[in-house]
Structure 1
Amino acid sequence: MRERSSGSIRSQSARRVVIVAFPEVQILDLAGPSSVFTTASRLVSPKQPGYHVEIAALRPGPVVTEGGVLLHATVSLERVRGPVDTLLVPGGEVTLRRDAEPALPPHLRRLAGHCRRVASVCSGSFLLARAGLLDGKRVTTHWLACDELQRQHPSCKVLGDQIFVRDGQIWTSAGVTSGIDLALAMVEEDLGREVARQVARLLVVYLRRPGGQSQFSVQMASQWASRAPIREVQEWLPEHLREDLSVETLARRAAMSPRNFARAFSAQVGVTPARYVERLRVEAARASLEATQQTVKEIATEVGFSTLETMHRVFKRALGVPPAEYRRRFAPRA
């Protein structure tokens, strides 16, 4: 097979994005960011530089992904020369093994010296760490792999509750679809918020979940009750946050005494009913602060806080900032 030159078809003005492929790569880690960059390129005017995406592997040609789908690498990593705007390393379960793809880290180390930014999606962070690129950096990865990344590479600081983390030249993102959030943030930085918004709209995704937010919702982060009465209450709660959600009310719904309900809920879910409800209300308030123009007082009423002062106190305890400051940091600018 004749290998294509790594820069032969790209526009001189386009930002060069090199995405690394390897056997058993998670295809969505690669396809999500690639779709963001190529969609952005179609939206910009001819006078604006877009992106040129290249798929690079140890050898050009077909690469079998984690799900068995074939993708095509157009160039070998060895042939990638000259400046690269963004080097992006996707993940896959295979990357968790210490002996996975030992030939990749030297290439990543070499290319990083010629890149404006280096990024990983999901467990691609393990490959960057083995290349020595995460030493002393604040990073993230899939929530299931955070402890393992920290154990294997104690010199980096793993932040387990982040969608993506940027530390200087290095960008790392959480699990799988968070690579889309990361790529949209890059597009926003390069081409402006309006282009990023249009890309998100065309791909039918949120503009982006800001990097300081949790990787998963309260219900994802909490364990589900093992028995039906408690589990059914958990399923019912998100749509009824404005109602009276005292232990007595929830216990009646579960057909249990308040004392037995509170004890069973804490044992099966891991937190008290009051704390669980509080977390759901904070999550709902946070979503409204990001996505609506409602006042903070209106949101407090909508999600069931008894007073604005209560929401302010709970919000600050849970997230470290009051509601108005959270909106300033994370809500889309008009």
Structure 2
Amino acid sequence: MKRVAIVLFDDVLSLDVFGPAEVFSIANRYLAPADHYQLCTIGVAEAEIRASNGIRLLADHKPDDISEPIDLLLVPGGPGAYDGDHSAWLPWLQQACDAASSYGSVCTGAFILGAAGLLDGCQTATHWNYSERLARRFPRARVETDRIYVRDGKLISSGGVTAGIDMALAIVEEDHGKPVAVSVAKVLLVAMKRQGGQAQFSPLLADVAREDSPVARAQQYALGNLEQELSVDSLASVAGLSPRHFARTFSSETRMTPMDFVHSARVDRARQLLESSDLPLKTIAYRCGFRSVRCMRIQFCERLGLTPAQYRHQFG
């Protein structure tokens, strides 16, 4: 029997708790009693917790009540994970994770593991909207921005919210094989493995600065003329710089090459049209500056792990 403990704290996201919990609970239907997952919750402050959606949760244990070994200790996310003060119970968390066979986080629960020093030197995932913030706060963590979940030794972490279900399915597959995990996925009506990573949910480009700098002028020109032929030379001309100096300055300020920026902007524009219109793929490719549907498909697969048709099916 594998003991799975999930930490509870105020402002926790309830789906981060119940998503993985349901995976393990449903897996028990397909397992011999001796192989069951034994689930429990640990309220690190009070026994009664109020989740971020207002629902009250009652924890099974307090940290000092735990006597049996924990095989998997999970820390869920939510506003309380990245905005709350957890200093009082971080020493317990460090010891508990050290003693557990494995430990992990769901979504922004990675912020709590980071505060406990448990992400240092490790690959980790979190919600796409918080990955940059996590990397800034914990520079010794190796934050994976596109992965749905990541296993690194004893640590396993997932991307945003429902990715906790993907992670739990992967754990079930590790423990009991693919047939059991597939059976659980079918009950939950979810894919055993998603197509693409978190990039399909997030914009490839952040908002472009409005200041009148050479790089910003070139970016704004590109965004307004995506259907045109855009090259380093043409953008450098807009910026008023030599192509070589422009390329160096652009990469230094944006951490991407000018053409990476153009390709990402075209993919983002195409995504908007795929989501909001029934235009043929050929028309979308033309309006976004791709030379053909094939070129658009190559950029989509490279950046999102999906074809334009697959993206439209999921989000259109």
Specify if TM > 0.5.
yes
Question: Are residues 1:28 and 2:11 paired?
Answer: no
Which runs of structure 2 are paired with 1:53-72 in the superposition (5 Å)? 53-59=39-45, 61-72=47-58
Q: How many residue pairs get matched? A: 249
Q: Which whole-Å CA distance do the structure 2 matches of 1:37 and 1:220 have between them?
A: 32
Counterpart CA distance in 1 for 2:304 and 2:50 is: 43
Residues 259-298 of structure 1 mapped to structure 2, 5 A cutoff: 265=288, 272-274=289-291, 277-278=296-297, 282=301
* Structure with more of its chain in helix, by fraction: 2
Q: CA separation in 1, counterparts of 2:175 and 2:271?
A: 45
Report the CA distance shift for 1:235/1:222 in structure 2 as closer, same or farther (over 3 A).
farther
- CA 1:232 to 1:127, structure 2 compared with 1: closer, same or farther past 3 Å? closer
Residue 235 of structure 1 is matched in structure 2 by 275
**Distance (Å, rounded) in 2 between the aligned partners of 1:67 and 1:124:** 16
Alignment counterpart, residue 79 of structure 1, candidates 57, 65, 78 = 65
Closer/same/farther in 2, CA of residues 59 and 96 from structure 1, 3 Å limit:
closer
- 1:196 matched to 2:181? The reply is yes
The verdict on how the C-alpha distance between 1:156 and 1:240 changes in structure 2, with shifts beyond 3 A counting, is same
**In 1, Cα distance between equivalents of 2:2 and 2:194:** 24
TM-score (norm 1): 0.65
Segment of structure 1 superposing worse, 108-117 or 14-23:
108-117
Distance change in 2, residues 1:279/1:63 (3 Å): farther
Q: Is 1:40 the counterpart of 2:27 in the alignment?
A: yes
Match status 1:217 vs 2:257? no
How far apart in 1 are the matches of 2:290 and 2:81? 39
What amino acid is aligned across from residue 41 of structure 1 in structure 2?
A: N
Instruction: Give matches, 1:99-118, under 5 Å.
Output: 100-118=85-103
Unaligned runs of 5+ residues in structure 1 are 1-13, 251-264, 266-271, 289-301, 304-334
Structure 2: state its 5+ residue gaps. Answer: 208-222, 225-268, 311-316
| TM-score, normalization by structure 2 | 0.69
Instruction: Note the alpha carbon deviations across 1:209-262, whole angstroms, 9 max, x for none.
Output: 38xx42142786578999xx9887433778844x57652xx5xxxxxxxxxxxx
Match of 1:52 in 2: 38
Q: Which residue of 1 aligns with 2:167?
A: 182
Distance 1:75 1:239, change over 3 A: farther
Return the alpha-carbon distance in structure 2 between the equivalents of residues 113 and 64 of structure 1.
Answer: 28
Q: 1:221, 1:84 → 2: CA distance? A: 39
Q: What is the distance in 2 between the residues matched to 1:232 and 1:142?
A: 21
- Gap change, CA 1:285 and 1:36, over 3 Å in 2: same
In the other structure, the counterpart of 2:146 is 161
Q: Secondary structure at the match of 2:101?
A: strand
The sequence identity of aligned pairs, in percent, is 33
Q: 1:39 to 1:129 in 2, by over 3 A?
A: same
Partner of 2:107, secondary structure, is: coil
| Deviation of 1:137 (Å) | 0.5
Can you list the C-alpha shifts for 1:4-47, whole angstroms capped at 9, x where unaligned? xxxxxxxxxx200000000110000000000000110122134x
* Map of 1:11 onto structure 2: none
CA distance in 2 between counterparts of 1:219 and 1:95 reads 21
Check conservation: 1:140, 1:146, Cα contact below 8 A.
yes
The CA deviation at 1:105 is: 1.5
Distance 1:139 1:245, change over 3 A: same
Q: Matches of 2:92 and 2:78 in 1, distance apart?
A: 18
